[in-house]
Amino acid sequence: MFTEIPAVLSERMAYLEKLDQKDRSDGTPRNKRLRQITRDTGKFLSLLTINIPEGEIIEIGTSAGYSTLWLAFAAKEKGKKVKTFELDEAKINLARETFRIAGLEDTIELVQGDFLDYGHQLGQVALCFLDAEKEVYEKCFRLVSGHMVRNGLIVADNAIDHYEGIKPMIDLAELDERFDCLMVPVGNGEFICRRK
């Protein structure tokens, strides 16, 4: 799978990785930084995505589209699309450019707006990747959890490096008998909830 990543996709990923590193070292304010997942996390997401059941693939928090590329790469192989939500207009513009350059525009639907305003419109969800502001994780889990198909996955990023920030969601998920939950130490930590 990873040996089949097209050169144009690989080049765009490398560009975004450099941009993210620059953001982290040059004093760019936190809310303006890309704050992307790690490459290992991207590969992990692709492996999860290629094995999901039927249902929608959604991402909450697009940023520049780096994680979306990893999701879409696998989704395209399955004949599926990714629906991704972002609030920040500058990041939306960069993400649109990313999807066009990578040749994945037809595989990705970018929704400009707050997921919390759209969540009630969801269909059956097979995979939800959650990488937004940490204080909304619990609300997002509440909205998404009722839409998850059997064996569907909710994957919450930053589960180790921002554990305290997303602990309310983790606690809620671990008490929800509909889900099996596991902390995976890849990248900044991925908290995975599998719908039973």
* Separation of alpha carbons 146 and 54, rounded Å: 16
* Separation of alpha carbons 17 and 37, rounded Å: 9
Q: Which of 72, 73, 93 is nearest to 84 (CA)?
A: 72
pLDDT at 28: 87
CA end-to-end span of the chain: 27
Give the DSSP H/E element, type plus range, for residue 129. strand 125-130
Q: Are 55 and 27 in contact (CB under 8 A)?
A: no
Give the DSSP H/E element, type plus range, for residue 147. none
Q: Considering the chain, what is the average pLDDT of its residues?
A: 95
- Cross-strand partners of 153: 127, 194
Give the dihedral of Cα atoms 65, 3, 45, 163; nearest 10 deg: -90
Please write the tens of the pLDDT for every residue from 18-75: 988 888 888 888 888 788 999 999 999 999 999 999 999 999 999 999 999 999 999 9
* Separation of alpha carbons 164 and 184, rounded Å: 16
* DSSP letter (8 states) at residue 107: G
pLDDT at 182: 98
To the nearest whole percent, how much of the chain has pLDDT over 90?
Answer: 89
Which two three-digit tokens encode residue 159? 């589960």
CATH hierarchy code of domain 2-195: 3.40.50.150
* Model confidence, pTM: 0.95
Domain boundaries, the chain: 2-195
